[in-house]
């Protein structure tokens, strides 16, 4: 009874649903953790490339920038802002004004004011005659800070400007583009961009970031592309082995109706010692049972109960007994049901033990378990317990007691017909035995009389 229900529900129970939170992409890369790059490197200002000619930063301006940086290094941020504000933009050339705004972005970064950082970058980009590399860096930094602010459309536009200035964009830029599209729920564009990021890294023989695969996993989850999910998770399991990836891959295999693969991955997690929660171990046992491995399922449950990872409750002990029963390990099954019965007061489990003993022809044991089931009562199939006891007593040739038990069974609707049939049969058998005994006694008496005559 219990075992059949368990198998019917196994795949559904073990196909753990993928929760969106488990596919979280991670936070965007922090903007300018060490301040704007190249803030005091002015060598490139005069010779940026073969196209742009830009003015150089004068020594006096460089000194003022250096002073501001020294103030920041000495935790005098307010004074640094004061000196910055005292710099008259009208007395600066275009490159110096641009670098002044880059310095402002650096100062606002110290305050964590992303809105002000974005504004400083935009002011910088309004300047003419700035080095190409500075414009490129600023568009990219602006895209990142807008991403952090949650201004995804602004981030996308800034990044598009950066791409327009690039001959060979790197993988990191495509990954940022993929993140922006993900936040905008543009799944197809996000997938295309992260695939470009991954391919760029592979083409350059560089390792692909784990987070990039996680981003791709998130997109495929949103698209409900389970085959794609399986492919990505297989890579994560192989290159970044973790419990979470194994469990997710197992669940995805379940969604793809690949139960053998689902079980193989779950078993791998078990063998690595990853499964310690009761729900995980019980889920594994259910998968094993559904794949015709009830003995292994019972062993997982028994080991889990023994080491304290699974509660020794009636439900879990009965589940273990069901699996031993399906594996035809009858004594193990009875032992599990006996432990389960000690957790409750009703007689249901003693009925099950009596049925197993009866199937094995252990009639003395069957009668004892059935008698205990009747004594405990308080379960729906009480009539069946009387029937099993009646049959056990019949096989023990205790006919009067058998008839009494079957008479009790006739009081229950579900067992009335069967109990009546057995009652009539036992009654006839009892009479037949009595007649044979009487005939045997009569024959013995006649023999004694003949002997006396002789």
**Given this model, what pLDDT does residue 10 score?**
38
pLDDT over threshold 50, residue 211: yes
Alpha helices in 16-170 (DSSP H): 59-73, 77-86, 94-111, 114-126, 132-149, 152-164
Tell which wins on pLDDT, 444 or 251: 251
- As a whole number of Å, the end-to-end CA separation of the chain is 67
* pLDDT at residue 437, as a whole number: 83
Q: Which residues contact 347 (CB under 8 A, 6 or more apart)?
A: 372, 373, 374, 375, 376, 377, 378, 379, 382, 385
Q: Are 158 and 146 in contact (CB under 8 A)?
A: yes
The pLDDT confidence band at residue 129, using thresholds 50, 70 and 90, is confident
The string of pLDDT tens digits covering residues 373-422 is 999 999 999 999 999 999 999 999 999 999 999 999 999 999 999 999 99
Separation of alpha carbons 128 and 94, rounded Å? 6
Tokens representing 432?
């037949």
Residue 382 has, within 13 A of its CA and on its CB side, a CA count of: 14
Q: pLDDT (tens digit, 9 = 90+) per residue, 276-320?
A: 999 999 999 999 999 999 999 999 999 999 999 999 999 999 999
pLDDT in tens, 160-175: 999 999 988 999 999 9
Nearest-angstrom CA–CA distance, 340 and 329: 17
Those residues with Cβ within 8 angstroms of residue 416's Cβ, 6 or more apart along the chain or in another chain = 383, 409, 410
Query: 107 pLDDT exceeds 70?
Result: yes
**C-alpha separations of 70 from 74, 77, 79, 111, 426 in Å:** 6, 10, 11, 16, 106
- Is residue 67 within 8 A of residue 83, CB to CB? The reply is yes
Place of tokens 């024959």: 443
The first and second tokens of residue 123, run together, are: 């002011």
User: What pLDDT, in 10s, does the model give residues 246-288?
Assistant: 999 999 999 999 999 999 999 999 999 999 999 999 999 999 9
């Amino acid at each position: 009874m219990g075992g059949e229900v368990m198998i019917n529900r196994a795949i559904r129970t073990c196909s753990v649903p993928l929760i969106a939170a488990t596919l979280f992409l991670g936070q965007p890369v922090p903007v300018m953790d060490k301040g704007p790059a190249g803030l005091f490197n002015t060598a490139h200002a005069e010779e940026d490339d073969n196209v742009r000619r830009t003015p150089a930063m004068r020594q006096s301006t460089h000194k003022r920038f250096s002073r501001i940086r020294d103030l920041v290094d000495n935790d005098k941020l307010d004074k640094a802002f004061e000196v910055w504000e005292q710099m008259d933009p009208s007395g600066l050339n275009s490159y110096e004004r641009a670098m002044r705004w880059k310095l402002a972005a650096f100062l606002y970064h110290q305050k964590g004011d992303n809105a002000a950082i974005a504004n400083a970058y935009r002011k910088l980009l309004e300047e003419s005659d700035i080095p190409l590399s500075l414009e490129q860096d600023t568009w990219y930094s602006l895209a990142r800070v807008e991403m952090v602010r949650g201004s995804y459309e602004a981030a996308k536009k800034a990044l598009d400007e950066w791409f327009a200035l690039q001959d060979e964009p790197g993988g990191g830029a495509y990954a940022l583009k993929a993140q922006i599209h993900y936040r905008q729920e543009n799944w197809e564009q996000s997938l295309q961009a992260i695939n470009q990021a991954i391919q760029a890294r592979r083409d350059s023989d560089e390792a692909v970031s784990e987070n990039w695969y996680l981003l791709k996993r998130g997109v495929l989850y949103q698209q409900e592309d389970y085959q794609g999910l399986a492919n990505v998770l297989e890579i994560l399991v192989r290159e970044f082995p973790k419990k979470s990836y194994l469990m997710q891959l197992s669940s995805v295999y379940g969604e793809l109706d690949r139960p053998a693969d689902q079980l193989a991955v779950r078993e791998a997690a078990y063998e690595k010692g990853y499964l310690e929660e009761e729900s995980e171990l019980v889920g594994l046992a259910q998968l094993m049972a559904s794949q015709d491995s009830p003995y292994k399922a019972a062993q997982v449950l028994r080991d889990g109960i023994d080491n304290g990872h699974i509660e020794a409750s009636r439900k879990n002990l009965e589940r273990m007994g069901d699996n031993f029963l399906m594996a035809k390990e009858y004594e193990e099954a009875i032992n599990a049901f006996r432990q389960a019965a000690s957790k409750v007061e009703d007689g249901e489990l003693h009925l099950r033990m009596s049925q197993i003993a009866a199937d094995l022809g252990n009639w003395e044991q069957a009668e004892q378990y059935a008698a205990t089931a009747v004594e405990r009562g308080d379960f729906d199939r009480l009539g069946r317990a009387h029937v099993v006891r009646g049959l056990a007593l019949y096989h023990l040739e205790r006919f009067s007691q058998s008839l009494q038990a079957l008479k009790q069974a006739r009081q229950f609707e579900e067992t009335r017909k069967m109990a009546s049939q057995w009652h009539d049969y036992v009654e006839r058998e009892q009479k037949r035995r009595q007649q044979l005994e009487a005939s045997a006694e009569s024959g013995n008496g006649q023999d004694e009389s003949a002997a006396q005559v002789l």
